[in-house]
Structure 1
Amino acid sequence: MIRQYELVERVRAYDPGADEDLLNRAYVFALKAHGAQTRASGDPYFSHPLEVAGILTDYRLDAASIATALLHDVIEDTPITLGEIDKAFGKDIGRLVDGVTKLTRLELQSDQTKQAENFRKLVLAMSEDIRVLLVKLADRLHNMRTIHFIQDPAKRRRIASETMDIYVPLAERIGIHELKDELEDLAFQQINPDARDSILTRLEFLRGNNANVIDEIIAELNSKLEEAGIQGTVTGREKQPFSIWRKMQRKNVGFEQLSDIMAFRVVVPSIEKCYETFGIMHAAYPSVPGRFKDYISTPKPNGYRSIHTAVIGPKRQRIEVQIRTQEMEEVADLGVAAHWQYKQAGPQKTEGKQYRWLRELLDILEHAAGPEEFLEHTKMEMFQDQVFVFTPKGDLFALPRGATPVDFAYALHSQIGDTCVGAKINGRMTQLRTPLNNGDQVDIITSKGQTPSPDWEDFVVTGKAKARIRRFIRTQRRAQYASLGRAIIEKEFRHEGYSFTEKALDPVLKNFQAQTVEDLYAAVGEGLVTGREVIHAVFPGLKPTVPKQNTLVPMGKPSQKKGEKGLPLRGLIPGMAVHYARCCHPLPGDRIVGIVTTGKGVTIHTIDCVSLEVFAETPERWIDVAWETDGLDPEKHVGRIHVIVSNELGSIGTLGTVIGKNLGNITNFKITNRSVDFFEILIDVEVKDVRHLTNVIAALRATPAINSVDRARG
């Protein structure tokens, strides 16, 4: 264990003006608070916060961060309260400690929810002060270094998976690659130990065979720099086992097929020398196409800068070369922590909102339905494989690989994403679902009347885009349910001879666990509560009444605002959630009825549909509806037909031709039975109405290859 004076001396070595009294008080306070507590290893519990503080001294962090590391588990694991921390060390230290503390005292439903809620709190805290994340990462690193003391293998794997899913990407995002690599390797050791051992064995074999080759490559690269008069250093670095494993998985290749397991790093004095060195490498050795990346002119979001290229180098070895300055080297290893080194003068900026990726996480947090959805979107947002694309003005944006123009639109601004209608990629109009490539210039086209399409959720990949789209769908669906629910309740009031007023609903909201009248409307519209239940709650003395068969109260034709696309139905109001039953496939011209269905709104059935028998005992769920008769409905509807066709050459082709000639469009085709002589087929056909479907059926019946045709039911 690090002694008290040793910790203080470590900090004073890089920050002579550090608050020594703060460090001593935090050391003693945490030591007393944890008292006789022990860890799974049997060591005193205080050894853990002390080691976390020691890790942070390696990154040369300020005294406040070191004190936070010493105190970070006091609130969680001892009777000490946040108020006592504030009183003893001030509000700033208290805020940092609170940001790192987990929400163990909340009664949460599952480990997944607990993990998500803790991560949500961490994001909020680190947006206020990025040092919270640095302490949290050091805390996780020491826990992973001692994870082998946990006896339960399932618990070890769960912690390792959480580390890989959340903390490794966070460390990568702030550019602390040394810490990221160690976390990744420790987690990999728990998640897939066999794969890691296999890769380590092969790396050991390569070290034995290629030791001289690596030295010779470094010597030859150094000689090339000396010949050009460039002062620089060349080092070779072996890639991490998990990095090798991930590349094997992604490219679906074996270990022997990987040719860039070693990366050679060239550190030169200036940016000009970086590009000069790049030219020397490509002049001396053949380059590998598609492997050049210039992160100096277009840095990564975490501030990483370097030139990457691959060449067929000395000894005909395919090697990766990274070229950077000494300053870039420090940022590559230490990331955001490099800005806290006290060799730099001036105040340090602590606010986390300066990082665009963190602002995007906060935006996801605002629009996600709950902590678990937030965690899901955040994992997507932190994917490491990225593409870099440009706005027409030349601004650079980093997106996950596979991102589309819709993802890019939401990265620009939430409002741009909500209203985008099209996109130009490199000057050409493209579909919104088109995947973006490195270097693409994307111009988003917007329209004030546009709203997010539910279909977008199927192809967007960023968490921010998914969160915004899902929120819009939830809001829109709630509005539809609320409109439908109000109409149902009004109908029940009229049916009982009462005038409807919202004030009558206020006293019964608690009966249905609704906070507002709007909540009650939505519950009724979704089918979670029936209109009869509401009317009986409002008027407890009512006698149950059963409407006569087929005597439904018509609701009249809905009013329609100018420019608003209305439903092709009478008896519903605009904005209702409406679905057409797949059991009977109702078409304009059929007699129809609406059924309020839980979770779907209103489902439209034909009046003779056999499924309606199920709802015979709940007449309050029935709504009288009819098709509009103005003939202006542009929507296509699906009708289902049952066809028996002869098993002859070309008969299926003839079937499709006849349907097409009669302006029908086949949307689904299923052979339900086959014999030597005949096929039985169910076909879904897009038509305008019943008359159109009747014409298609008549044309098929007149075709010699068709044995019989009927409209399918059920």
Structure 2
Amino acid sequence: MPERPDNLRDRLLTLPMLAASGAPLRAALASLGDDVPADGREADVLLDTLTALGRLGADADVVATAIADAVPAWREPMQARLPAIAPLLEGLSAAHQVWSLHAEHVSEGNPEGLRRLLLALIRDLRLVLVLLARQLALMRAAARDEDGEARRALAALTRDIHAPLANRLGIWQLKWELEDLAFRFLQPETYKRIAGLLDDKRLGRERYIETVRIQLGEALSAQGVQGEVAGRPKHIYSIWKKMQRKQVPIGELYDLRAVRVLVDDVPACYAALGVVHALWTPIPSEFDDYIARPKHNDYRSLHTAVVGPDGKTLEVQIRTREMHEASELGVAAHWRYKESGGSQRSSSASAAALERRIEWMRRLLDAHTDPAREDGEALAGALGTELVEDRVFVLTPKGEIVDLPQGATPLDFAYHVHTMVGHRCRGAKVDGRIVPLDYVLRSGEHVEILTAKEAAPRRDWLVVANGFLASPRSREKVRSWFHKLDRARNLQAGRELLEKDLRRLGLLQADLAPVLSRFNVVTVDELYVLVALGDVGPNQIGRALLELERERTAPVEPAAPTLPLRTPRRAPKTGESDFHVVGVDNLLVQVARCCRPVPGEPIAGYLTRARGVSVHRRDCPAFLRLSAGHPQRVLPVEWGRASGGHESDLVVEAVDRRHLLKDLSNVIAQEDVHVLSIQSETMGLSRVRLKLRVRVGDYGQLARLLGKLDDTPGVDAARRG
């Protein structure tokens, strides 16, 4: 790439302008550098691409992306000069991934899934214009080349991906030509037959359209309606689709003879419609008002069929000039209105239409009907579905596309493939590397599930905090599996699961009866069953027990004090956390090192002789011993607003194996917990005990960390120190 002047962006913008005006674009391209092709097939493709982008009103970043795509040597220098095109260039790489998948699986026929994947991978929607414009240029170049398999493959890609996208965006100008060229390459005999039938009657049809144009123009003028009447070109693929859909021969189609009326505003559209219906007899079943009820892609126009001169059927389309440009250029037309500084009314209307189209485009890929239908019915079910960015699109080992909710894991993928695949899942590979089952999938990744011979789902998959399942549908499949087990097994499993969690939190001896009503159960056994079925998480019960303890120990204020009471003030901040010592001021407050409570746990203070108030967990053995000997030193303490992390001691007992410390460190890092110190001691028989001091944000983070550590392979127990 040659030395880049400061006005590179302006120079890029002139290229499509030159193309649209018919100026000598080759010379302008040649002046940019020796790497740019000035003649030959590559030059023709680039010229056609820039011409199409010019007609679509593309900006300089889009033009730069198109050139960088056509001239690989310019990719890095162009990105260095225009950093804003980085998302567009990344999208090009994603698009090439979709093209490769189409080439590998074209015979299997899943174009809808590929379109979903394409738009999920593209972060900047302007890239769609580059893809459509370049594909049209490649198709035009293929029309000039000899026939071959490469041309058929290009046409199949156009039919499956590009033409439907142009249709969904409402860019009819590109849609018609893409469809006709693909139809010509894929079904040449049918194309030639329909083209021949049209050519046989072309001269008579052109004379007839001229007669209609004159008559309708005079009638509009007589009624004071200012309008422009012109013949409407017919496209061979559109004719063939209507013949297939209506099961009629070409001679029975109403719109082979068609004219279009362009007027200034919406009232003039309906005035022109009245003139048409007064001049010729309308066919009632062939009237569509897409102004009052726009299509789902925001297409607006009046369509009517009448019995015209000589008793021949005639289609008439009536629309404003703004509607016409919008129908020809789709989203790009609205960009052009917005950038040209038109009237405020027109600009705001265009902006609103653009927002509707972008929202619709992000939703359209959830439709499961035929995308090639011209009447817009393919979008009927799409408007109530989730946005594309709320979904991820991953690939099976065979290249099939699977649509999952955002945050989905390999386990969600397994249950989506088949219920038994999920039940038998024991591991997963993503892009060839083994990942944990709670790994969050991203669009475009290849997922392979590792299964066991026997189905054996785990109950901790149902615990939301563990992050194994993001899809409610997957969670219900696991829950259904355990529902089928007998009550005794569920009771035992629920008891073990809950006791394991409460033991880690130091709540194993807590009385469960007071919290039963919070979970709408009468007995502890019923609570165990809910835990086993995943309807209640062990962490929810632990949190309920802590909240109950806080309620019990909260100080009771007098209902009607007879004397003004001194308002207790919060103690000064300490180095580790904030506490509120009720009724006492200006005392040094510190966290007891024997138990190191974290926010959310019941706490109490003990007034020491020399170090102020020491804050303990209420179930701390040291606190219980001290309070029994000196109950007068016990002070009520409440959690204040935390000023930072809180230290906590953990103990992990595990098999002494290779990479144990690495695996534990990965778990701790995933939970965003800071490790302050680690000590290890041998327990004999290849076993080890690790003592960790960590800094956590609150009780919830500590509970999640203990659960993840306890689930690490080789770990026997993970608990508070």
Q: TM-score, normalised by structure 1?
A: 0.50
